[in-house]
């Protein structure tokens, strides 16, 4: 049994807790939280909740620590620090800072003889893999990534910061006609506006100027001004009833040419339709915990990404079983 620890118990941590139960070769050993452990209720029976500050006392009880903090300020510190004592897996998703994070985790993990797998999830993660397989299979071609339909936390937060807004949810929606052009192998050049639209569901504070709120949202630089945005005003009850989920998804498409004078076109498409973005990310983190454990058992150390992991390391079955049933 692979002994799993969860570090950070929010949406992602809860998702890992359920995911571990779906993997018969894993057991949840402990949950670590920065809150008062006495106030953290977890679903698993008999699994202890410890203070994050006591984590080192449990280093021999855990084979892989799954880090469930945020990419902004938690993971840049926690992953390199915990990689000194544990095999770790994280979902660090700030694309621009991945090289720096990789280097920090690599240093800690190599010194400690541990494995750290970073930036695991679906983007970065499975979507990155699909871009890579697409580029490998069709070196002459174009890549397209569309996100949605789904809730963007960053954009929802941005709307909530607008004056007069009490609460809000923002959906990112791929433009169907753009998707169709890509699928047809047209290789279009698409502007930001042509790829996605944005839809906001806003609860206004009483007496707020709705026209001003709508205008403030639609003209917000970086977040909305480059998109066609729709704003709907709804009640707090409607927001709670119809928009409390965290669905997401998207599409990675590689379109390329082969043969004499590139006369043949091929289109590879990968898509996700997720009821719960954090639970799906948690499930992938859990599969990669297995890979971290196996690699480390073979004497491997250092930082890895999803690009470095042989796919078979993600599955509990033996090579023979996989060749027999899945190849």
- Cβ atoms of 149 and 174 within 8 Å: the answer is yes
We find the least distance from the C-beta atom of residue 230 to its own copies, in angstroms, to be 26
Site map 120..139 versus its own copies, x via CB under 8 A:
----x-x-xxxxxx-xxxxx
Task: List all residues 6 or more positions away from 83 whose beta carbon is below 8 Å from its beta carbon.
Answer: 105, 108, 109, 112, 114, 116, 303
We find the least distance from the C-beta atom of residue 28 to its own copies, in angstroms, to be 15
We find the least distance from the C-beta atom of residue 98 to its own copies, in angstroms, to be 6
* Residue 258 Cα to chain centre, angstroms: 33
Please tell me whether residue 266 binds its own copies under the rule CB under 8 A: yes
Output 59 or 323, the one with its CB closest to its own copies. Answer: 323
Site map 169..208 versus its own copies, x via CB under 8 A:
--------------x-x-----------------------
We find the least distance from the C-beta atom of residue 136 to its own copies, in angstroms, to be 4
What is the distance in angstroms between the CA of the first residue and the CA of the last residue of the chain?
26
We find the least distance from the C-beta atom of residue 208 to its own copies, in angstroms, to be 34
Contacting residue, 1, 43, 56, 57, with its own copies by CB under 8 A: 43
We find the least distance from the C-beta atom of residue 122 to its own copies, in angstroms, to be 9
Helices (H), the chain: 11-21, 75-82, 98-112, 126-137, 153-160, 176-183, 192-195, 210-218, 236-242, 277-297, 319-325
Measure the CA–CA gap between 160 and 220, rounded to whole angstroms: 12
- For residue 190, with 0-12 CB atoms within 10 Å meaning exposed, 13-18 middle and 19 or more buried, which class applies? middle
Residues 79-118 that bind its own copies (CB under 8 A): 95, 98-99, 102
Residues 7-36 that bind its own copies (CB under 8 A): 15, 18-19, 22-23
Task: Supply the DSSP symbol for 73.
Answer: T
* Dihedral, CA of residue 12, residue 101, residue 224 and residue 157, to nearest 10: 40
Residue ranges that bind its own copies, judged by CB under 8 A: 15, 18-19, 22-23, 43, 95, 98-99, 102, 119, 124, 126, 128-133, 135-140, 183, 185, 258-260, 263-276, 279-280, 282-284, 287, 305-312, 314-315, 319-320, 322-324, 326-327
């Amino acid at each position: 049994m692979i002994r799993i620890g969860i570090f950070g118990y929010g949406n992602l941590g809860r998702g890992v807790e359920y995911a571990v139960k779906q993997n018969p070769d894993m057991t949840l050993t402990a949950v670590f939280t920065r809150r008062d452990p006495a106030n953290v209720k977890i679903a698993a029976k008999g699994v202890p909740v410890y203070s994050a500050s006591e984590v080192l006392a449990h280093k021999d009880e855990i084979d892989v620590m799954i880090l469930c903090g945020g990419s902004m300020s938690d993971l840049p510190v926690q992953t390199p620090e915990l990689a000194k004592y544990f095999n770790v897996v994280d979902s660090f998703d700030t694309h621009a800072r991945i090289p720096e994070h990789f280097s920090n985790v690599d240093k800690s993990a190599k010194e400690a003889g541990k494995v750290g797998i970073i930036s695991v999830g679906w983007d970065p993660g499975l979507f990155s893999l699909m871009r890579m397989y697409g580029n490998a299979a069709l070196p002459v071609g174009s890549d397209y990534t569309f996100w949605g339909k789904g809730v963007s936390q960053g954009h929802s937060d941005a709307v909530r910061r607008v004056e007069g807004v009490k609460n809000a949810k923002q959906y990112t929606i791929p433009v169907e006609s753009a998707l169709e052009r890509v699928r047809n192998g047209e290789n279009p050049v698409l502007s930001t506006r042509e790829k996605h639209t944005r839809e906001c569901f806003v609860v206004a504070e009483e007496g707020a100027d709705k026209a001003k709120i709508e205008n403030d949202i639609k003209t917000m630089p970086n977040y909305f001004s480059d998109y066609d945005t729709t704003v709907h005003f709804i009640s707090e009850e409607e927001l709670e009833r119809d928009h409390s989920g965290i669905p997401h998804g998207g599409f990675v498409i590689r379109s390329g040419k082969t043969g004499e004078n590139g006369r043949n076109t091929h289109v590879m498409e990968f898509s996700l339709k997720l009821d719960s973005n954090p639970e799906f990310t948690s499930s992938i983190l859990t599969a990669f915990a297995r890979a971290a454990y196996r690699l480390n058992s073979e004497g491997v150390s250092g930082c890895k990404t999803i690009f470095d992991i042989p796919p078979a390391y993600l599955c509990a079955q033996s090579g023979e079983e996989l060749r027999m049933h899945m190849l």
